[in-house]
Chains A and B, each alone.
Chain A
């Protein structure tokens, strides 16, 4: 097999673009899950963000406003989820699935009339000096703003969880809401904020699909990206840096299998298409096997209902 025909520079550049939607959605969901809430509605929030972002960008002519709208509407959808699960104490798994169903319908309704419309293009932001470095410049420093923003978000979330008091509180709520409540923290309010942050990130991820990666609006265009984002969170064992690894690995496999086809390397296509999923599972198994049986990694209070009984 001759792999020399695969160009590493374009591979890396393409995988960064391909991974950004799931990266954004996954880092948001990580924060949600860290607070002890599982929101399976990522797909629904993403697709809502994809259409509202698209509508916003088309209406204003500015992708920046598009992304803003997407983040707001994602947060709005998340608020609905939060209200049901946190105030009305509904089951998180079922509510999340319902949110996905609702979001798919809502987006399809909002999107009528936006098919075939061409959105304003999101400019590429060549980072001065760095983008001029041969090879590395094109690989890493010649993308649009959202790619960098997603990377900055990873670092911010990592730092927030690791070094700040807010991060400590968030984790405490996620590990034991009763203890956190006893210490005087507003469990529900903290969780609501986390949930809405997650929704905003999912909305951004969706808008990145409809405004940059594709870019167009089409019904059901997220095509399962939200579910992949959820899987990446578990894959990453709730560690921000591993979200980056997981998302880029997944995006990389997706792009690589297409590149292998273009390069006419004789590998069975139908099995190659499965590769991103199978390899994600395998890596996950290796990682969990290495950690040993005692390790869980999930926030202890995940999916558990909190109700202050006093």
Chain B
């Protein structure tokens, strides 16, 4: 009979080992899947995990792309992780991401075609504000009326998507495009663009901000009283109340910071890699970031690594489609399996496995 025994402390060894094991398990299971589809399994796995990083043909391009793809994921996930630790569920980062992009782009476009150094900083502030504002709706409804924040933040994603469509077709549409949807390209408007800062690295302001957020969150959680309150609330709400944590303030703070960071991510994306507001500007970053947050075990450094791993499966997955003709659906299943294995094997870091003869669980 197998049974689990809780470790007094999560095992450091297994925390480090489980992701590696999970990746190996996914490679095996994924390889079987690819083989069943009639594709060479070893080559497929190599294309996904190795080529974007080390292939002569692609790596020079793909490596910076990993950071570009991972940047917004990490930035959003860091914000979400603070709330998740305290049991505050913001599922609507996608909506806050969209609103950040709309606000940021609107400010930039309002100045067009003027060139000035202060435009980009203003856009950053506007983007952060847009995301924050969108997150304040569930925050205030929760603190004032006790309305569930999961529901409100999630439904607001759909509202934001409709606003985005309306903006791309209406208020923010490029007047020079003769009726076609989509805004002007911000990346071609010097004062409003978010360019690559160091050539060939892929690092733009958004990626840099993501790194800063990782460090900031690390310090907040380990050194600051607010971080202590977050961790305490997550562990035991009652204990937190005895330690005179103000739960309403915590809700406002956690939702606010996650909305703000998601808004920033959207703003950096719209002014940089994406360049413009379009009908389908959002590509699911807000939802994928939730997965990244959990993959990283809600730990800032873990989120950094998880974000890059997730980006690797996207970039490598595309390569596998181009090179081997793997269907996109197979890549999706592959990603799902990776998550399952990571989550499943996590049990090893928190529990010991005991074998007992004939016992009853």
A residues with CB within 8 A of B: 40, 80, 84, 88-91, 93-95, 97-99, 101-106, 108-109, 112, 224, 227, 230-231, 234-235, 270-271, 273-274, 277-278, 280-281, 284-285, 288-289, 291-293, 295-296, 298, 307-309
Proximity bits, B130-172, A CB within 8 Å = 1, else 0? 0000000000010011111011101110110011011001100
Proximity bits, B316-338, A CB within 8 Å = 1, else 0? 00000000000111111111110
Cβ-defined partner of B336 (8 Å) among A101, A271, A295: A101
Chain A residues, CB < 8 A from B336: 98-99, 101-103, 105-106
* B245 proximal to A (CB < 8 A): no
Cβ-defined partner of A280 (8 Å) among B155, B327, B335, B340: B155
Q: Are B159 and A278 in contact (CB under 8 A)?
A: yes
State which of B48-56, B109-117, B259-267, B346-354 sits at the interface with chain A.
B346-354
Q: Are B351 and A89 in contact (CB under 8 A)?
A: yes
Q: How far is the CA of A90 from the CA of B343 in the complex (A)?
A: 5
Q: Are B347 and A98 in contact (CB under 8 A)?
A: no
Q: Are A274 and B159 in contact (CB under 8 A)?
A: yes
Q: Are B333 and A102 in contact (CB under 8 A)?
A: yes
Q: Are A89 and B330 in contact (CB under 8 A)?
A: no
Q: Are B294 and A281 in contact (CB under 8 A)?
A: no
Q: How far is the CA of A236 from the CA of B91 in the complex (A)?
A: 18
Tally of B interface residues using CB under 8 Å: 50
* B287 proximal to A (CB < 8 A): yes
User: Which of B148, B291, B295 has its CB near the most chain A CB atoms (within 10 A)?
Assistant: B148
Chain B residues, CB < 8 A from A280: 151, 155
* B241 proximal to A (CB < 8 A): no
Chain B residues, CB < 8 A from A99: 336
Q: Are B329 and A108 in contact (CB under 8 A)?
A: yes
Q: Are B147 and A285 in contact (CB under 8 A)?
A: yes
Chain B residue with the shortest CB-CB distance to A268: B166
Within the complex, what minimum Cβ distance (angstroms) separates A95 from chain B?
A: 5
Chain A residues, CB < 8 A from B84: 93
Q: How far is the CA of A94 from the CA of B338 in the complex (A)?
A: 12
Q: Are A231 and B151 in contact (CB under 8 A)?
A: yes
Q: Are A106 and B147 in contact (CB under 8 A)?
A: no
Proximity bits, B253-294, A CB within 8 Å = 1, else 0? 000000000000000000000000000000000010011001
Chain B residues, CB < 8 A from A270: 162, 165-166, 169-170
List 7 tightest A-B contacts by C-beta distance, closest first: A102-B336, A105-B332, A94-B294, A108-B329, A98-B339, A105-B333, A90-B343
Given contacts A94-B343, A227-B154, contact A307 B6 (CB under 8 A): yes
Q: Are B145 and A288 in contact (CB under 8 A)?
A: yes
Q: Are B339 and A94 in contact (CB under 8 A)?
A: yes
Q: Are B335 and A105 in contact (CB under 8 A)?
A: yes
* B344 proximal to A (CB < 8 A): yes
Return 26 A-B CB contacts under 8 Å, by A number: A40-B91, A88-B347, A90-B344, A90-B347, A91-B294, A93-B89, A94-B290, A94-B294, A94-B295, A94-B339, A97-B294, A99-B336, A101-B291, A104-B332, A105-B330, A105-B332, A106-B333, A108-B332, A109-B327, A112-B327, A112-B329, A230-B151, A281-B151, A307-B4, A308-B361, A309-B6
Within the complex, what minimum Cβ distance (angstroms) separates B246 from chain A?
A: 15
Given contacts A88-B344, A89-B351, A94-B295, contact A298 B148 (CB under 8 A): yes
Chain A residues, CB < 8 A from B346: 88, 90-91
Within the complex, what minimum Cβ distance (angstroms) separates A142 from chain B?
A: 31
